Structure 1
Amino acid sequence: MELVPFSESDAAQLCAWIPNEKANFQWGGPTFSFPLTPEQICEHIAREEVKPYLLTHDKEPIGYIELFRVSDSEYRLCRVLVASPAHRGKGWGYRLVELALEQARMISKVYKVSLAVFAHNTAAIACYSSLGFVVLPELTKTRFFNGETWTLLRMERWL
């Protein structure tokens, strides 16, 4: 497995991985509307603070992650996705995050990585916790999706 830079030519593949409105919101929050389009993706990744990556296995794309510059010393992991449900539960999400942390370590002056995750995404929370992320209860927020209230946890770890 390796993490490779994501490019505009990968945008259609990423859109195909987001099958419905709920998955779109869980993955991208309020940043993207559904149906997700390559134009939305390309506009987003063109932002200077966004560093997007694909996770590949045997040269096949299987996941996506972003490092988002919050400040000179902090990056946030965003839009973490292991695309196929058949690939989940096999440690590939762990490897995806681990590789992204390696990328963050290579950025001069970065000493903290944070992320936001919905509280009902217990598998992701377990993955992040196993990699040293801790929940910051004072930064808990809520988001609203189709009449439901979703709790959004903030987690961080020091590099």
Structure 2
Amino acid sequence: MALRAFTRSDYERLINWIDSDELNYQWGGPTFDFPLNAHQISQHCAHPDVWPFMFSVSGESAGYAELVETSEGHLRICRVFIAKPFRGQGIANRMFYQLIQLAKSEYRADALSLAVFEHNTAAKRCYESLGFVVTSRESGMRSFRGESWVLLRMEKSLFSSD
């Protein structure tokens, strides 16, 4: 299992994974329009504070995640996705473990944060198992097809043990 830089050759795979408007919104929030396309991905990944990664299992692409610098020493994990064939196998935990190690060693981060929709209970449980704690609950800020989606903000200090 390996985390590697996301490249243009990965765009089509990510586009195929994000196959509905609801999934697009859950994955990318208001950042991307559906259907996702190479131009949107290219524009997004061109931002100097966005570092996208692919996670591979036995040589097969299994997941995607980004580290985004929000301030010195603080990174945010964004747009996490695990491909359907790899869900329910602990792949997200392994991917996150490698992201956390990378954030500490390569980017010298001392804190990580993320946001997750409250109804995404599997993701929330995964993040909590890795030491992330809910720091705020925001309602009325995000909605999909007229339904309000509650957003949880979570953080993890990298000074503590993993």
In the alignment, structure 1 residue 12 sits paired with structure 2 residue 12: yes
Residue segments in structure 1 that go unaligned for 5+ positions in a row:
none
Question: SS of the counterpart of 2:63?
Answer: strand
Residues 71-110 of structure 1 aligned to structure 2 (within 5 Å):
71-84=71-84, 86-110=85-109
Deviation >4 Å, runs of 4+: none
Whole-angstrom CA distance in 1 between matches of 2:157 and 2:76: 12
Whole-angstrom CA distance in 2 between matches of 1:108 and 1:28: 23
Whole-angstrom CA distance in 1 between matches of 2:32 and 2:8: 16
Partner of 1:132: 131
| Aligned amino acid, residue 52 of structure 2 | P
Partner of 2:60: 60
Q: CA deviation at 1:109?
A: 4.0
When the two chains are superposed, the root-mean-square deviation of aligned CA atoms in Å is 1.1
In the alignment, structure 1 residue 123 sits paired with structure 2 residue 96: no
Partner of 1:33: 33
In the alignment, structure 1 residue 44 sits paired with structure 2 residue 44: yes
Whole-angstrom CA distance in 2 between matches of 1:20 and 1:158: 34
Partner of 2:157: 158
Deviations 1:43-88 (A, max 9, x none): 101100000000001111111000000011100000001012x311
Whole-angstrom CA distance in 2 between matches of 1:122 and 1:73: 28
TM-score by length of 1: 0.95
| Aligned amino acid, residue 140 of structure 1 | E
| Aligned amino acid, residue 113 of structure 2 | S
Q: CA deviation at 1:140?
A: 2.6
**Greater Cα offset, 141-150 or 43-52:** 141-150
Residue segments in structure 2 that go unaligned for 5+ positions in a row:
none
Q: CA deviation at 1:108?
A: 4.6
Whole-angstrom CA distance in 1 between matches of 2:60 and 2:108: 32
Question: SS of the counterpart of 2:113?
Answer: strand
TM-score by length of 2: 0.93
